[in-house]
C-alpha cells in the first residue's frame, strides 16, 4: 500500500511523458540522425555523410551571416527588452493617476500578431516613410536611413521593432516582481539614509532576481529562435542581409535540402541549450545567495 502511494504521482506523470516523448523526444532523435545524412527531395536513397552538413554550415557565407545576425538580434533584444522593461515597470509602479491606462498601452503591442505589426511598420520604415519624414521635419536629416533596405542596419531595425512589440510583456513580469517587494524594506532604508539609487541597487535588484531570471531566459531563447519578425518585415532581405537561422532553415526545407535544414535546426537546438541552461543555473544560484 505504501509503495503504491509512493508511485501514485508517477502514474499521473506517465500520460504526459508519453505524449511528450511521441511528439517531441522521438522526432528530435530522428532529426538528429537525419542531420548526418544527405536527405534531399530529389534523392530516393538516403546516405549517411557524417559531419558534411555541419561543415557546410560553417563554410557557407550566407549561413555564417545568418548565425551572426541571430547572435546580434539576440544580444540587442535581450538588453533592450530587459532594460526598458525594468525602467517602465519602475515608472508605472509609482502612484500615477494614469498608471493603469499606461500599463495597458505599453502591454498591448505584445498581444498583437506580428503580421499586424509588419503592416504598420513596413510603410513607416520606408525611405519616404513617416519616421524619416518626422526626422526631417525636426531638422534631423542626417539620421534618416533606409531602415529596411540598408544591409548594414536592417537587422538592428528588426530588433528595434521586436523590442517595441514585446517590451510590455517584460514590463508586466518586472511589475509583478516589484509589487511583491514589501515597502518595509524601503522605509527602513530611508530611515538609514539610503537614497533612491542605493535602495535600487541593494533592495530592488536582489529581490527582483526571480523576475530578471525569467525575463532573461524568455528573451534569450526568443532571440535565438527569431523567425517571424524577419520573415514578415524583410523575408531575409535585402539580398541575404537579414537572414537568421530560422529563415535559413525554412529556405533549406523549401529547396528540398532536408538533411541540411535538419542539421541547422539541430545546431540551433544545441546552441540554445548550451547557452540557456548554464545561464539558468547561474541565475538560480544568485537567487539563493542574495
Which domains, ranges and CATH numbers included, belong to the chain?
Answer: 61-289 (1.10.3720.10)
**Whole-number mean pLDDT of the chain?**
90
Residues above pLDDT 70, as percent of the chain: 97
Cα–Cα distance, 225 to 70 (Å, whole number): 8
Q: Cα dihedral angle (127, 131, 134, 140), rounded to 10 degrees?
A: -70
Does the pLDDT at position 78 exceed 60?
A: yes
Q: pLDDT-based confidence at 44, cuts 50/70/90?
A: confident
Could you tell me the end-to-end alpha-carbon distance of the chain, in angstroms, rounded to an integer? 43
Q: pLDDT-based confidence at 163, cuts 50/70/90?
A: very high
What is the pLDDT, as a whole number, of residue 61?
92
**∠158-163-165 over CA atoms, to 5°?**
95
Does the pLDDT at position 1 exceed 60?
A: no
pLDDT tens digit sequence for 204-259: 888 899 999 999 999 999 999 999 999 999 999 898 999 999 999 999 999 999 99
Average pLDDT value for residue range 147-152: 93
Does the pLDDT at position 107 exceed 60?
A: yes
What is the pLDDT, as a whole number, of residue 2?
54
Identify the CA nearest to 203 among candidates 227, 176, 177, 181.
Answer: 181
Amino acid at each position: 500500500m505504501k509503495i503504491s502511494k509512493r508511485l501514485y504521482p508517477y502514474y499521473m506523470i506517465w500520460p504526459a511523458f508519453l505524449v511528450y516523448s511521441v511528439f517531441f523526444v522521438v522526432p528530435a532523435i530522428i532529426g538528429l540522425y537525419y542531420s548526418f545524412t544527405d536527405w534531399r527531395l530529389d534523392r530516393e536513397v538516403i546516405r549517411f555523410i557524417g559531419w558534411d552538413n555541419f561543415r557546410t554550415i560553417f563554410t557557407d557565407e550566407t549561413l555564417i551571416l545568418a548565425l551572426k545576425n541571430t547572435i546580434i538580434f539576440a544580444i540587442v533584444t535581450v538588453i533592450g527588452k530587459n532594460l526598458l522593461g525594468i525602467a517602465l515597470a519602475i515608472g508605472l509602479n509609482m502612484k500615477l493617476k494614469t498608471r493603469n491606462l499606461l500599463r495597458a498601452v505599453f502591454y498591448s503591442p505584445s498581444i498583437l500578431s506580428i503580421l499586424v505589426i509588419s503592416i504598420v511598420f513596413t510603410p513607416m520604415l520606408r525611405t519616404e516613410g513617416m519616421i524619416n519624414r518626422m526626422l526631417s521635419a525636426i531638422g534631423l536629416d542626417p539620421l534618416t536611413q533606409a531602415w529596411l533596405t540598408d544591409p548594414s542596419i536592417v537587422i538592428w531595425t528588426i530588433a528595434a521593432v521586436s523590442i517595441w512589440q514585446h517590451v510590455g510583456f517584460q514590463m508586466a513580469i518586472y511589475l509583478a516582481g516589484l509589487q511583491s517587494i514589501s515597502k518595509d524594506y524601503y522605509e527602513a532604508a530611508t530611515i538609514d539614509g539610503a537614497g533612491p539609487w542605493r535602495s535600487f541597487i541593494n533592495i530592488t535588484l536582489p529581490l527582483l532576481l526571480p523576475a530578471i531570471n525569467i525575463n532573461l531566459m524568455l528573451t534569450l531563447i526568443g532571440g535565438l529562435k527569431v523567425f517571424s519578425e524577419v520573415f514578415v518585415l524583410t523575408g531575409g532581405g535585402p539580398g541575404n542581409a537579414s537572414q537568421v537561422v530560422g529563415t535559413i532553415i525554412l529556405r533549406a526545407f523549401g529547396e528540398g535540402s532536408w538533411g541540411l535544414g535538419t542539421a541547422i535546426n539541430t545546431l540551433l537546438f544545441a546552441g540554445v541549450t548550451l547557452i540557456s541552461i548554464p545561464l539558468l543555473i547561474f541565475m538560480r544560484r544568485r537567487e539563493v545567495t542574495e
